[in-house]
Amino acid sequence: MGAHFLQTFSMGENLSFRLTMLMILLIAAGSFMALKGIMLHSMSAILKGIRAA
C-alpha cells in the first residue's frame, strides 16, 4: 500500500483521502505501539532490579 501511495504521489495524481487518512492512522498507531513497548520493557527491567535488591 505504501509503495502504491508513493507512486501515485510522485506521478502527480490526486491522492485518495481515505488512503491518506489510513496511512496517517497506521503510522500513528505503529509509533504509539513502539513507544509503549519501549516503556514497558524499561519498567520490567526496573522492577527486576528492585526485586533483586
pLDDT tens profile 4-51: 877 887 888 887 888 889 889 999 999 999 999 999 999 999 999 999
Q: What pTM was computed for the model?
A: 0.68
Q: Is the CB of residue 19 less than 8 Å from the CB of residue 5? A: yes
CA distance 34 to 3: 22
What is the gyration radius of the CA atoms in the chain, in angstroms?
19
Residues 43 and 18: their CA atoms lie apart, in Å, by: 37
Q: How confident is the model at residue 2 (pLDDT cuts 50, 70, 90)?
A: confident
How far is residue 2's CA from residue 8's CA, in Å, rounded to a whole number?
A: 10
